[in-house]
């Protein structure tokens, strides 16, 4: 959208995409759009959702299939005649007098030779903030301590959403600490509430499945599958019979019998604690982490549908679904875009904080509107002791709302 806008303003534009697809999460599976208040959405974004609506025969539409979203992005690019350079990623940035003069790119797919792009202005529209970092802009990874910005919901938080009920045993052999912790549990001790650390809220994939037999590919056992990775899900269900298929995977339905599945509950698609290296990692390390998340998510789907210990009603619902033949057709019917919820965060002349969300501070030169809750997924899975009993808990989830859309800005 930035490239489209600049080109429509008469600028010379090149859009650099490290992968093969435009649109990030909007085309990568997040088709059940997270909307805090749709009336805060204006400009080209509103135009986009109304064009999506036209595709489905409606005035506007916020829920859509991944390939429909990508086709529309391609249409914008074609309409503005934007030059797109696919399969290229950032190597370095050259500055003079505080301004970026040029960037050097390499082929994402292993092609030979680097490419230098000179420009008057560069926009970093990535989830990871790589250009920001290469340009020497100050940033942070992880969670600030509450005292840094006089907040209450930053840092370590042990709250009750997406949480295990009390009493879920954390050990491989229940009641025997010497057997070791179940997969995915950190041995770290719970730090003081509100304390900062380098932990990043967890990632997953927004999973597109279908229940249309004519468009379905069966869910099969993925590479390296290990059922012990999902032991805690069985224990969570055993301790809390209210857990059901829809409260474990949260399938939101999109057009043409397709899902946008997101994390939900104590044990789901979030691969908690496995993404800490991602924000500042090399491209190779990031690819490894993304592959781990993909295999974890595929393994979870297979486990729910095929493990003999799974509760029958949950298993029956899982078996109604499969991968859609007409989505992600060049990547094995699985999204190439992991849900990178958070990576580097810029520390500018002004930093948006909890005070802005709650209206205690209001910027007067906002460049956009934010309309959602203060929202963080869990950051780690740990063992705590309560009434003399050791149990597993998730740490880091925050969901605090109740405030109207707020203006925001970013100043480098």
* pLDDT tens for the chain, residues 1 to 412: 999 999 999 999 999 999 999 999 999 999 999 887 888 889 999 999 999 999 999 999 999 999 999 999 999 999 999 999 999 999 999 999 999 999 999 998 877 789 999 999 999 999 999 999 999 999 999 999 999 999 999 999 999 999 999 999 999 999 999 999 999 999 999 999 999 999 999 999 999 999 999 999 999 999 999 999 999 999 999 999 999 999 999 999 999 999 999 999 999 999 999 999 999 999 999 999 999 999 999 999 999 999 999 999 999 999 999 999 999 999 999 999 999 999 999 998 889 999 999 999 999 888 888 888 899 999 999 999 999 999 999 999 999 998 998 898 765 4
Total number of domains in the chain: 3
Beta bridge partners of 259: 253
Please give the Cα distance from 354 to 373 (Å, whole number). 11
User: Roughly how many angstroms between the first and final C-alpha of the chain, as a whole number?
Assistant: 21
pLDDT reported for residue 412: 41
Report how far Cα 316 is from the mean position of its chain's Cα atoms: 28
Q: Domain boundary residue among 324, 359, 377?
A: 324
Domain shared by 161 and 246, yes or no:
no
Rounded alpha-carbon distances, angstroms, from residue 90 to 61, 82, 123, 280, 282: 35, 19, 13, 13, 11
pLDDT reported for residue 112: 77
Please give the Cα distance from 55 to 68 (Å, whole number). 8
Domain shared by 26 and 125, yes or no:
yes
pLDDT reported for residue 410: 60
Q: Domain boundary residue among 123, 140, 157?
A: 140
Beta bridge partners of 392: 383
pLDDT reported for residue 2: 94
Which domain does 100 fall in, by range? 2-140
Domain shared by 274 and 244, yes or no:
yes
Domain shared by 312 and 375, yes or no:
no
Domain shared by 103 and 177, yes or no:
no
Rounded alpha-carbon distances, angstroms, from residue 337 to 66, 256, 306: 11, 21, 26
Domain shared by 239 and 288, yes or no:
yes
Using a 10 angstrom Cβ sphere, with 0-12 exposed, 13-18 middle and 19 or more buried, the burial of residue 263 is buried
- Strand ranges inside 59-199, DSSP E: 83-86, 88-96, 99-107, 115-118, 139-140, 171-173, 176-181
Query: In this structure, is residue 21 part of a structural domain?
Result: yes
H or E stretch at 395: strand 389-395
Domain shared by 239 and 280, yes or no:
yes
Query: In this structure, is residue 207 part of a structural domain?
Result: no
Domain shared by 98 and 181, yes or no:
no
């Amino acid at each position: 959208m930035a490239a489209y806008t600049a080109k429509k303003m008469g600028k010379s534009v090149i859009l650099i995409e490290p992968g093969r697809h435009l649109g990030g999460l909007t085309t990568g599976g997040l088709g059940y759009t997270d909307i805090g208040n749709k009336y805060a959405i204006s400009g080209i974004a509103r135009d986009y959702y109304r064009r999506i609506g036209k595709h489905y025969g409606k005035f506007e539409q916020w829920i859509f299939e991944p390939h429909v979203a990508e086709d529309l992005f391609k249409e914008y690019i074609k309409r503005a005649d934007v030059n797109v350079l696919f399969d290229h990623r950032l190597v370095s940035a050259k500055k003079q007098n505080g301004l970026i003069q040029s960037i050097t790119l390499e082929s994402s797919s292993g092609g030979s030779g680097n490419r230098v792009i000179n420009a008057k202005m560069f926009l970093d529209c990535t989830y990871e903030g790589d250009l920001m970092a290469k340009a020497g802009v100050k940033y942070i990874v992880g969670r600030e301590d509450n005292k840094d910005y006089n907040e209450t919901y930053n840092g370590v938080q042990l709250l009750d959403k997406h949480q295990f009920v009390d009493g879920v045993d954390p050990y491989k052999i229940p009641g025997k600490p010497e057997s070791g912790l179940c997969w995915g549990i950190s041995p770290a001790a719970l730090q003081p509430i509100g304390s900062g650390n380098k932990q990043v809220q967890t990632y997953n994939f927004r999973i597109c499945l279908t229940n249309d037999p004519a468009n379905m590919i069966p869910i099969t056992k993925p590479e390296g599958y290990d059922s012990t990775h999902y032991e805690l899900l069985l224990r969570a269900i055993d301790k809390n019979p209210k857990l059901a298929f829809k409260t474990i995977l949260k399938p939101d339905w999109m057009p043409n019998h397709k899902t946008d599945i997101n994390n939900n509950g104590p044990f789901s698609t979030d691969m908690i604690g496995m993404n800490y290296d991602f924000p500042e990692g090399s491209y190779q390390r990031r690819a490894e982490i993304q592959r781990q998340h993909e295999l974890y998510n595929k393994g979870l789907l297979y486990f729910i549908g095929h493990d003999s210990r799974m509760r029958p009603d949950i298993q029956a619902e899982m078996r109604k679904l499969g991968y859609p033949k007409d989505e992600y057709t060049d990547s094995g019917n699985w999204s190439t875009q992991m849900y990178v919820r958070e990576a580097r965060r810029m520390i500018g002349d002004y930093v948006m904080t909890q005070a802005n969300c709650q209206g205690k501070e209001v910027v007067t030169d906002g460049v956009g509107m934010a309309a959602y809750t203060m929202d963080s997924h869990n950051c780690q899975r740990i063992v705590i002791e309560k009434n003399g009993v050791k149990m597993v808990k998730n740490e880091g989830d925050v969901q605090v709302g109740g405030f109207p859309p707020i203006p925001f800005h970013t100043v480098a």
